[in-house]
Amino acid sequence: MLMLEQRPQPSKTMLYLTPVMAVLATMLVGGMLFWAMGIDPFRAIYLLFVDPFVDSYNLSQLFVKASPLILIAMGLSIGFRAGVWNIGAEGQFIIGAICGGAVGLALWGSTGWWILPLMALAAALGGALWGLIPAVLKIKFNANEILVSLMLVYVAGNLLAEMVQGVLRAPDGMGFPESRNLGRNDPTALPDVFPALGIDAGGVVMLILLAMAFFLLQKHALGFQIKLTGDSPRAARFAGVKPGVIIAVCLGISGAAAGLAGMFELTGAAGKLTIDFPLGYGFTAIIVAFLGRLNPVGILLAGVVLAGTYIGGENAQFMLQLPAAAVTVFQGMMLFFLLGFEILINYRVKRMRRAV
């Protein structure tokens, strides 16, 4: 007979081992699902989880997919550590792309190195302001930031549709609901830095911000206040930490990071604003944040793993006629198993002998 016994202290080993266990469990259960669907499970798992990390072309695309996930997850993790639950990063991602794109389109035909930084500033500001909407409602009216930030995703989606059919629509686009191609216009295109690794200027900025987040959480007084607020809100208040300030800072930072990611996606891989511009990065980044244990280094690794499932999923769709929704299912399974294995951090499995 098996039972759960509480550990004297949380296990640090299991803290870092459970994400690996979640990935392995996802591969195992996913293989069983493929077998039930009549698909070779070994080939499917190879395409999804191995091929993106061994094929040279896939490796060059890996960081392109991983950069926005890591950047958004980094911002979310700061809030999650404080118990501030921003679920609307997808909306902030969209708003950042709209604001950054609007600046680039307004300056269409101009030249200068300053255009791209100005677009990035507009995107970060737009994402931050969109993130501060649930912050203000939380502080002033105690509104639930989960629901408010989530509902704002749909508002942002409708705003995007209105923009690409209106003021941001390409004048030479033959009426299609899309903007001009910012990714192919020299002043607004994101320059490659390490093309062989798929690292562009946005990836470099992401790595710099990731290092800054690590410093903030480990060395700065604000990082200590954020972690203290998440661990013990009552102790934080006694220590003089103002909850409203932490809420605003966390949602502002996560919104700015998501907005910046949206602008990098627009000027890089996507190239232009369209009705279907949202790629689900904002929601997938939640999985990345938790899979990486809300730690900048862990988030970097988790972002690469999740990006691999995107690339592997595209390959599996083409080679095995796998449904597009299968990738989302796998990502959801990963989070499910991660949350399930969480219990092993504070409890251990113990075998009990039956009394004779």
Q: Which amino acid is at 26?
A: T
Average pLDDT across the chain, whole number: 91
DSSP calls for 297-316: HHHHHHHHHHHHHHHHHHHH
Runs of H (alpha helix) within 220-271? 221-231, 233-238, 243-265
pLDDT at 141 over 80: yes
Q: What is the mean pLDDT of residues 34-63?
A: 87
**What was the pLDDT predicted at 356?**
54
Beta bridge partners of 350: 3
Instruction: Let me know if 11 is exposed, middle or buried by CB neighbors in 10 A (0-12, 13-18, 19+).
Output: middle
Q: Is 200 helix (H, G, I), strand (E, B) or coil?
A: strand
d(CA 286, CA 291): 9
Q: What is the mean pLDDT of residues 84-100?
A: 97
pLDDT in tens, 274-329: 998 877 899 999 999 999 999 999 999 999 999 998 888 888 888 888 887 777 88
Q: How many CB atoms lie within 10 A of CB 353?
A: 6
**What was the pLDDT predicted at 60?**
80
d(CA 305, CA 49): 8
The angle formed by the CA atoms of residues 325, 198 and 214, to the nearest 5 degrees, is: 90
Q: What is the pTM of this model?
A: 0.92
First to last CA, the chain: 13
Contacts of 248 (CB under 8 A, 6+ apart): 132, 135, 136, 139
d(CA 275, CA 121): 23
Q: What domains sit in the chain, N to C, each tagged with a CATH number?
A: 30-344 (1.10.3470)
pLDDT in tens, 216-232: 999 999 999 999 999 88
pLDDT in tens, 172-229: 878 789 999 998 888 889 888 887 777 889 999 999 999 999 999 999 999 999 999 9
Q: Which of 180, 181, 178 is nearest to 166 (CA)?
A: 178
Confidence grade of residue 269 (pLDDT, cut at 50, 70, 90)? confident
**What was the pLDDT predicted at 354?**
64
For the ranges 71-75, 98-102, 326-330, which has the lowest average pLDDT? 326-330
**Residue 135: CA count within 13 A, CB half-sphere:** 21
d(CA 182, CA 163): 15
**Which two structure tokens, joined as six digits, stand for 344?**
């092993």
Contacts of 216 (CB under 8 A, 6+ apart): 78, 222, 223
**What was the pLDDT predicted at 355?**
55
**What was the pLDDT predicted at 85?**
96
Q: What is the mean pLDDT of residues 104-108?
A: 94
